[in-house]
């Protein structure tokens, strides 16, 4: 599984938990505010209250600010950091897409020129097609494999901890090591895979050198390297399924397959949906695998959106073009992220 799907769901959960507190705040401000909360703030000497002066709304607003000043200050640090290191760069990046930038002269506004040039590049479509193909393949391998592994691991009676660790091991390898390892696996001469094929008297394959196989080979690397994380998520979700459901199913004489179909999958529907989306978002940003293993070849068969973007920016030094490309990617991924948000919200 090529995604990096872990961090989002917990973060989302806390955000959801926080919302009612914030929404609830105005209500107690007037009458029944908890005493402890007030005393925590700047002391009891704030009798501004809902008096007649200046209208009730502003009064209440001021009072709310004063009461929560410390909280706002703490919040401000986070907001400023986000604005500076996350939002500003995003906005700036989008603006760059409409400019010709050399960084030596003031940037020149060029309207949609960069986008037009993008569409003129014959590799542009290839890159999107390849990325789509990679994402699709990653779903076929990367979505099913961790789920199957998790279900099997969950059913095991012995050696569970050991196997769980084994499955997670590749995630801990630095990606450079992973790539070097797989280069040897794929080596058409003395490589591992061709040696294995040879044992079964099968012809050797050009794993990375054949246009048809190259992308599949990259997906395999990425699946192997990343499935540990997803497997752990599934294992956790499996652990959360109430045992009674299985007991009831077993009492009704349901086979393993039927239990999987009627209990496990429906119970995990939500988490499956989420990892699916996160995986799409993650795999569409594939870069390291093609960059290191194939450099986009053979014959552009593994040029991905991010690889092309990298070339625009750091080989051709054309940051306007690269930014236009990243804006497009941002829009596409944003759409997926929107669906993701909708889903997580409706679940709550």
In whole angstroms, what is the distance from residue 182 CA to residue 193 CA?
10
Among 1, 2, 96, 139, binds other proteins (CB under 8 A): 96
Instruction: State the minimum distance, in angstroms, from the CB of residue 154 to other proteins.
Output: 31
In whole angstroms, what is the distance from residue 20 CA to residue 339 CA?
23
| 227, 114 contact by CB (below 8 A) | no
Neighbours of 285 (CB within 10 A): 18
Stretch touching other proteins by CB under 8 A, among 36-44, 172-180, 263-271, 275-283: 172-180
Q: Decide whether 43 or 203 has the Cβ nearer to other proteins.
A: 203
Instruction: State the minimum distance, in angstroms, from the CB of residue 194 to other proteins.
Output: 9
What torsion do the CA atoms of 113, 114, 117, 122 make, to the nearest 10 degrees?
-160
Residues 120-139 within binding reach of other proteins (CB under 8 A): 120, 122
Among 188, 241, 267, 330, binds other proteins (CB under 8 A): 188
Among 30, 316, 338, 342, binds other proteins (CB under 8 A): 316
Among 25, 110, 313, 339, binds other proteins (CB under 8 A): 313
Neighbours of 131 (CB within 10 A): 24
- Residues linked to residue 223 through DSSP beta bridges, in sequence order: none
Structure token digits, residue 232: 């752990």
Instruction: State the minimum distance, in angstroms, from the CB of residue 142 to other proteins.
Output: 18
Residue linked to tokens 């594939």: 286
Residue linked to tokens 């956790």: 236
In whole angstroms, what is the distance from residue 106 CA to residue 127 CA?
31
**Considering the rule CB under 8 A, would residue 173 count as an interface residue with other proteins?**
no
Where does this chain bind other proteins (CB under 8 A)? 88-90, 92-93, 96, 101-105, 107, 120, 122, 175-176, 179, 187-190, 204, 206, 208-211, 285, 287-288, 291-300, 306, 309-311, 313-317, 319, 322-323, 326
């Amino acid at each position: 599984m090529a995604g990096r799907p872990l961090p989002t769901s917990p973060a989302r959960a806390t955000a959801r938990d926080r919302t009612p507190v914030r929404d609830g705040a105005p209500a107690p401000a007037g009458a029944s505010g908890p005493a402890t909360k007030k005393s925590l703030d700047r002391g009891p000497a704030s009798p501004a209250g809902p008096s007649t002066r200046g209208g009730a709304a502003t009064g209440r607003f001021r009072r709310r600010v004063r009461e929560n000043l410390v909280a706002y200050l703490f919040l401000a640090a986070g907001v400023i950091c986000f604005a500076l290191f996350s939002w500003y760069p995003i906005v700036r990046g989008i603006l760059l897409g409409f400019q010709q930038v050399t960084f030596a002269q003031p940037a020149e506004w060029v309207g949609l020129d960069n986008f037009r040039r993008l569409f003129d590049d014959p590799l542009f479509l290839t890159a999107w097609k390849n990325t789509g193909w990679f994402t699709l393949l990653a779903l076929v391998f990367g979505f099913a494999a961790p789920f199957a592994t998790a279900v099997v691991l969950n059913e095991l009676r012995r050696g569970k901890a050991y196997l769980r660790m084994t499955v997670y091991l590749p995630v801990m390898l630095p990606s450079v090591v992973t790539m070097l390892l797989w280069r040897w696996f794929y080596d058409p001469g003395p490589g591992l895979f061709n040696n294995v094929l040879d044992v079964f008297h099968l012809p050797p394959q050009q794993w990375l050198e054949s246009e048809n196989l190259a992308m599949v080979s990259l997906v395999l690397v990425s699946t192997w390297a990343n499935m540990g994380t997803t497997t752990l998520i599934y294992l956790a979700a499996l652990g959360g399924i109430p045992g009674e459901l299985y007991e009831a199913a077993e009492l009704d004489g349901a086979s393993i397959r039927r239990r999987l179909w009627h209990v496990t999958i429906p119970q995990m529907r939500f988490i499956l949906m989420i990892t699916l989306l996160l995986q799409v978002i993650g795999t569409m940003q594939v870069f390291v695998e093609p960059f290191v293993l194939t450099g986009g070849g053979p014959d552009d068969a593994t040029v991905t959106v991010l690889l092309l973007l990298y070339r625009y920016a750091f080989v051709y030094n054309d940051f306007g073009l690269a930014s236009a490309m990243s804006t497009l990617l941002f829009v596409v991924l944003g759409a997926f992220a929107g669906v993701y948000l909708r889903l997580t919200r409706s679940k709550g």
